[in-house]
Amino acid sequence: MLSQLLRFDPEHMHEFGKNANRFMLWGVVLMILGVLAVSFATFSTIITVALLGFFLFVSGLITLADTFSFWWRKWSGFFAHLFFALLYIGVGLMLLNNPIEGSFSIALLLGFFYIFIGASRIGYAAMVKTPKWGWNLFNGIIALTLGCMITFSWPESSLFIIGLFVGIDLFFTGWAYFMAALAAKNLLK
């Protein structure tokens, strides 16, 4: 019953088809980024970890500013916000200062993430029958496989595995976008 509710109806299919060129472009861009990430896996890993550290640090600064500008003297929320702000700043600085060591922890988290996202994509593909939905199913199987590979090879391969698997995932996500858009264009003809 739920899978029938989530199927693309003709109105959504038409709208999807009208935007097919944009989806195809997104797919090509994601595939190119994926190839680049795989080609420079160690560099991609270090950049990914450093960017995550930067975003956590900036988020911590914003939360800290919010803590003192809004939550000051509202003691029920002040200390919780202060704790989270300092946690974000601390983790961000640790990742920025040593992205190589940070890659060990992130690789394990990434492994668990891909296991979860792969299982979710498989379930989504089975329930929401987009055009050429088999590619979404394949994308989910790839993500689940990547998650298992990361988790089972940790920590030995942590320095290159993040960039490698993020690149593979980007490529196949782009492929799924491209194939769905191609099928939608063909259905509208």
- What's the mean pLDDT in 135-149? 90
- Give the pLDDT of residue 5: 44
State if pTM tops 0.85.
no
Domain range holding 110? Answer: 24-188
Does 68 map to a domain? yes
DSSP code of residue 130: -
- Residue at 102 is within a domain: yes
Q: Is the bond into 155 cis (omega within 30 degrees of 0)?
A: yes
Confidence of residue 1 (pLDDT cuts 50, 70, 90): very low
Task: Give the span between the Cα atoms of 160 and 37, in whole angstroms.
Answer: 10
Tell whether 6 is covered by a domain. Answer: no
**Under DSSP, is residue 136 helix (H, G, I), strand (E, B) or coil?**
helix
Could you give the number of structural domains in the chain? 1
Give a yes or no: residue 178 inside a domain.
Answer: yes
How much is the average pLDDT of 67-91?
A: 85
Residue 50: the pLDDT is 93
Round to whole Å and give the CA distance between 80 and 76.
Answer: 8
Residue 153 located in a structural domain: yes
Specify if 19 maps to a domain: no
Is 12 contained in some domain?
A: no
Q: How far apart are CA 158 and CA 83, in angstroms?
A: 29
Q: Is the pLDDT of residue 56 over 90?
A: yes
In the predicted model, is pLDDT for residue 109 greater than 90? Answer: no
Residue 18 lies in a domain: no
